[in-house]
A and B are shown apart, each in its own frame.
Chain A
Amino acid sequence: MRGFRPVESVALLPPAKAASARVYEDLRRGILSGHIAAGTLFSEAKLAEQLGLSRTPLREAFRTLLSDGLLEEGPNRQVQVRVFPAQAHDEVAAIIDWMLRLAIVQAAQHGSPAHADGLRLITIRIRRALRQGDEEARFDEEDEFRLQLTRAAEMPVLEEVLRRMLGQARLMARSNGKSARRRPKSSDVARLDAVADAIEQGDAQTAGASIQTYPFSPPGALKSHG
């Protein structure tokens, strides 16, 4: 029973997710939030027992996390949360930077108001997360903003690769204890709104310049590399 009109049915909700998708999302969230540390070993049999699942969905979730680059093969046929070498951080940051430049140029060529609004709906959520001091939600939305640029560019392959890179960058930042750069201010979020405005107007240069000034977490994601 709800406030305006009682609706017990879930007709408009998306279909329930498969067990493998749920486990994948839970594990991914645990890794990105730092609750599951780099180097943590997982035994498929043990975890399946703990979660009350069969091993098949767990195996599928592990496979996807391996391809995301968040897990790696560990000893004794186990998997572990990936441990990156220290120098990988700058490399991943540079890759993300280049991908975003590419996305911005393409997105500005399309100049779609709906795509720009897609970016603005995310900046609304970033502002809200900032107000509420919800850092995890902010990190998620900052990633979402960058992924939305690839959607605005209509580059699904780039979106797929960027998603992996952003996940790896977050894991690295957690491992290095560098998850907090400076906390963005509302004037910083206005820079992201400026990115949306510039995309709508077809101005890739202004969009690129605006996004450079936003203090994305994890750090280094848009340091100038060339």
Chain B
Amino acid sequence: MATLTKDDLAPGGSAARLASRRPFAVVPRNAIQRTVRMRDGVRLATDVYLPDSTGPWPSLLCRLPYDKAGEECFLPLIAEWFTARDYSVVVQDCRGKVRSDGVPVPYRTEAIDGFDTIAWIAEQPWSTGRVGMLGDSYYGFTQWAAASLDPPALAAIVPRAAPFNYRAARYRQGVLALEAVASYSLETWVDEALYDWAGSLDWSIRPLSEIVPNALGGRRPLGLDQWAKGRFPAASRVKPSGRHATLHMGGFWDPVHRQTVESWKIANATKSRQVQRLYLDTRDHGWTPLRPENAAYVDPFASTTRTSDFVDDYLSPLLEFFDEHVAHRATGAATPVRWRFSDLSWGEGESWPPPQARRKHLYLSIGGSLVEVPDAAERSIGWEHDPTNPVPSLEHPFYTLIDPPTSSVKRPDVLVFAGEPSQGDITDLVGPVTFTVELASSSESTHLYARLWDMGPQSDRRIVEGGMHISGPWPRKVSVDLGHAAYRLEPGHALRLELASSCYPLYAIHPGTSDDPWTAERFVSSGNQISIGGLRAAKLAVTVLDGGT
């Protein structure tokens, strides 16, 4: 959807087809295919990969709903990489998914299934009885879930791009992350299989609730309607306990990175905590790296060499952590927090944001600029929100960095405020970014989206983004969370803030009425306005390191 055009959004404008069921991958010959019996008798399909050396070996576990042998998560390659480094590797299809028995229900049994599987591993003759867990996204969540029950053999976890609270991950301050929820539920939670969704979602369909069922011939994925109404089961929330050594890994261009920072903060604040490290990289949800301007995307699986380089890069930070905490092969002196800047250099420190960072405010000026001193006079500026003609989001819900937008949408309902180009003094944004504003609407409630761009001499790059559902009475003062950044603004580049009331299909559309956006079929235009200047000046708050690190 990265090149979404207005035609795609117009009714009947997109050529959707039915989502296709993906065949199960072939389990590699070097995998020992096992089943592990859970406490209720259900058996989960589990592949064991053992090194060629003499065991027993420390063990690494990965539990996922995406096919343990599939190319999407390339666990066979991961297993090969870790077995070559003397770990036994166990990969398991989650309950009811792919080759595992039972009924697939997202979240519900991940804690006990993880606990029981870790106990099984610890009893095996090939395991030293010390287990680490790894995985991204939902298979990072399965780590949080298992760890919540304190399995005695669990030594360390490395959740990457992983929510520990799914409701928080699927909403931005009350706004449904529609495209992520729709595509994810369609791919993963229809039945035991996985479904390819590219090209199958017709975003012109209303109500929004029918977009996914339309791609499935009328079937509704498990959980879709509950999630879209904000109802997530208790099992989808796990509080990081800090009781296991944890490497919290996230990418600044992954919307889930807020959860990565949050899990580290929560675990780090606990009393009986084990080692907690935060690792923030310039990546998206699929760990696609940020590229220098004009550099073409390189498919990591296009050749054996590229795949090998990608897997090395993808797993090396984990090896260091597992060697220290699972295999006891190294003593760690690593810094608690590491982050990568947009120029691909690394920073490190004791906390996030670094203690020497300071908050800096940039005010919106009536002339469309971002300034350090607010306008003296308070004025308001308005725009129309037309829910039948939403502002296109232009970026992929998960793989933001494969084909990132290089310029924003120019429309009268998108407000733009640009700062002065940097004069050679490097400005580093290192930490959270928020936008605070006083807003009023002709509707009972509305949405506000804010995106911060780096405006370069040749092309632009989106740095952070966020959205918020806001209800009256008006005017209301609100702060929109735009996430975190480690961004180095090069000379000649400037910051630009964009404001709008829709961002579709990344986020659900506010119908302009009090109807639920999920089921709304009636759409009314509304007028929104914000205050600029004076005592109630709208402002962007960034966290900066003066003069770089």
Q: Contacting B73 at CB < 8 Å: which of A5, A121, A127?
A: A5
Are the CB atoms of A1 and B198 closer together than 8 Å?
Answer: yes
Are the CB atoms of A5 and B76 closer together than 8 Å?
Answer: no
Chain A nearest CB from B17 CB (Å) reads 14
- The answer to whether the Cβ of B32 comes within 8 Å of any Cβ in the partner chain is yes
A35-86 contacts to B, CB under 8 A, are: none
Known: A9-B71, A12-B74, A117-B34. A3 touches B43 (CB 8 A): no
Considering the chains assembled together, what is the distance between the CA atoms of A2 and B188 in angstroms?
10
Are the CB atoms of B66 and A4 closer together than 8 Å?
Answer: yes
Are the CB atoms of A8 and B299 closer together than 8 Å?
Answer: yes
- The answer to whether the Cβ of A170 comes within 8 Å of any Cβ in the partner chain is no
**Cβ contacts under 8 Å, B396 to chain A:** 1
Q: Is the interface of B mostly helix, strand, loop or mixed?
A: loop
- The answer to whether the Cβ of B399 comes within 8 Å of any Cβ in the partner chain is yes
Q: Mark B177-216, 1 if CB is under 8 A from A, else 0.
A: 0000001101110001010111000000000000000000
Chain B nearest CB from A11 CB (Å) reads 6
Chain B nearest CB from A200 CB (Å) reads 11
Known: A4-B72, A14-B26, A114-B34. A124 touches B45 (CB 8 A): yes
**Cβ contacts under 8 Å, B304 to chain A:** 11
Are the CB atoms of B398 and A4 closer together than 8 Å?
Answer: yes
Are the CB atoms of B71 and A13 closer together than 8 Å?
Answer: yes
**Cβ contacts under 8 Å, A114 to chain B:** 32-34
Considering the chains assembled together, what is the distance between the CA atoms of A63 and B198 in angstroms?
42
Considering the chains assembled together, what is the distance between the CA atoms of A114 and B30 in angstroms?
13
- The answer to whether the Cβ of B441 comes within 8 Å of any Cβ in the partner chain is no
Closest 3 CB pairs between A and B? A3-B187, A5-B286, A9-B301
- The answer to whether the Cβ of B244 comes within 8 Å of any Cβ in the partner chain is no
21 example contacts (A-B, Cβ-Cβ < 8 A) are as follows A2-B198, A3-B66, A3-B72, A3-B194, A4-B73, A4-B137, A4-B138, A6-B399, A6-B402, A7-B301, A8-B302, A9-B71, A9-B301, A12-B76, A12-B77, A117-B35, A120-B35, A120-B43, A121-B99, A124-B43, A124-B101
Chain A residue nearest to B23 (CB atoms) is A13
Chain B nearest CB from A195 CB (Å) reads 14
For chain B, give the interface size range.
35 or more
**Cβ contacts under 8 Å, A7 to chain B:** 71-72, 74, 301
**Cβ contacts under 8 Å, A6 to chain B:** 286, 399, 402
Are the CB atoms of A5 and B72 closer together than 8 Å?
Answer: yes
Known: A14-B26, A114-B32, A124-B45. A9 touches B302 (CB 8 A): yes
- The answer to whether the Cβ of A113 comes within 8 Å of any Cβ in the partner chain is yes
Known: A12-B25, A13-B71. A121 touches B399 (CB 8 A): no
Known: A3-B398, A4-B66. 18 other contacts (CB 8 A): A2-B196, A3-B188, A3-B194, A4-B73, A4-B285, A6-B402, A7-B72, A8-B299, A13-B26, A13-B71, A114-B32, A114-B34, A120-B35, A121-B45, A124-B99, A124-B100, A124-B101, A125-B99
Considering the chains assembled together, what is the distance between the CA atoms of A128 and B193 in angstroms?
12
Chain B nearest CB from A37 CB (Å) reads 29
**Cβ contacts under 8 Å, B99 to chain A:** 121, 124-125
Using CB atoms and an 8 Å cutoff, list the residues of chain A in contact with chain B: 1-14, 113-114, 117-118, 120-121, 124-125, 127-128
Considering the chains assembled together, what is the distance between the CA atoms of A179 and B398 in angstroms?
48
**Cβ contacts under 8 Å, A120 to chain B:** 35, 43
Considering the chains assembled together, what is the distance between the CA atoms of A14 and B27 in angstroms?
10
Considering the chains assembled together, what is the distance between the CA atoms of A124 and B301 in angstroms?
32
Are the CB atoms of A11 and B35 closer together than 8 Å?
Answer: no
Considering the chains assembled together, what is the distance between the CA atoms of A125 and B35 in angstroms?
13
Chain A nearest CB from B284 CB (Å) reads 10
- The answer to whether the Cβ of B307 comes within 8 Å of any Cβ in the partner chain is yes
B23-79 contacts to A, CB under 8 A, are: 25-26, 32-35, 43, 45, 66, 69-74, 76-77
B270-323 contacts to A, CB under 8 A, are: 285-287, 299, 301-302, 304, 307
Considering the chains assembled together, what is the distance between the CA atoms of A118 and B32 in angstroms?
9
**Cβ contacts under 8 Å, B299 to chain A:** 8-9
Chain A nearest CB from B424 CB (Å) reads 38
Chain A residue nearest to B183 (CB atoms) is A3
Considering the chains assembled together, what is the distance between the CA atoms of A120 and B100 in angstroms?
10
- The answer to whether the Cβ of B481 comes within 8 Å of any Cβ in the partner chain is no
Considering the chains assembled together, what is the distance between the CA atoms of A121 and B398 in angstroms?
33
**Cβ contacts under 8 Å, B402 to chain A:** 6
**Cβ contacts under 8 Å, A8 to chain B:** 299, 301-302
**Cβ contacts under 8 Å, A113 to chain B:** 34
Chain B residue nearest to A116 (CB atoms) is B35
**Cβ contacts under 8 Å, B184 to chain A:** 3
Of B69, B76, B99, B304, which is in contact with the most chain A CB atoms at under 10 Å from its CB? B99
- The answer to whether the Cβ of B136 comes within 8 Å of any Cβ in the partner chain is yes
Chain A nearest CB from B65 CB (Å) reads 10
Chain A residue nearest to B76 (CB atoms) is A12
Known: A4-B398, A5-B73, A7-B71. A121 touches B286 (CB 8 A): no
**Cβ contacts under 8 Å, B76 to chain A:** 12
Q: Mark B389-420, 1 if CB is under 8 A from A, else 0.
A: 00000001011001000000000000000000
Chain B residue nearest to A127 (CB atoms) is B101
Considering the chains assembled together, what is the distance between the CA atoms of A84 and B186 in angstroms?
47
Chain B residue nearest to A118 (CB atoms) is B33
Known: A9-B299, A12-B25. A2 touches B187 (CB 8 A): yes
**Cβ contacts under 8 Å, A11 to chain B:** 71, 301, 304, 307
Chain A nearest CB from B159 CB (Å) reads 14
**Cβ contacts under 8 Å, B45 to chain A:** 121, 124
Known: A11-B71, A13-B71, A14-B26. A121 touches B196 (CB 8 A): no
